[in-house]
Amino acid sequence: MDNDTYDDRHSRQQKFNKNIVKRLEELEDKVSIINTKLERIDDILVVHRNQNDTQRKNHASLIKVWDEKVIPLIEGTHGKQE
């Protein structure tokens, strides 16, 4: 190595730098793919959370209808004034 010329060292350094740049580009691509997957997971979680909110609202509506309409029909008190 002591006998290497400047051009030899410079050439090796350029190859090394190119390899680093190539590896960084590969890592950027992987990060981009991971970010896309994470965004998709986040979208799925938002839909799931919203679906749960809707399900809770639907459940509350069903309970209200049950209490106000169905139970009085079953008990025969529907339409009777108290």
pLDDT tens, position by position, 21-70: 999 999 999 999 999 999 999 888 888 777 788 888 888 898 899 888 88
Residue with more model confidence, 78 or 72: 72
Contacts 24+ apart (CB under 8 A), 53-61: none
Q: How many residues does the chain have?
A: 82
Is 2's pLDDT higher than 70? no
In whole angstroms, how far apart are CA 27 and each of 30, 35, 39, 82?
A: 5, 12, 18, 74
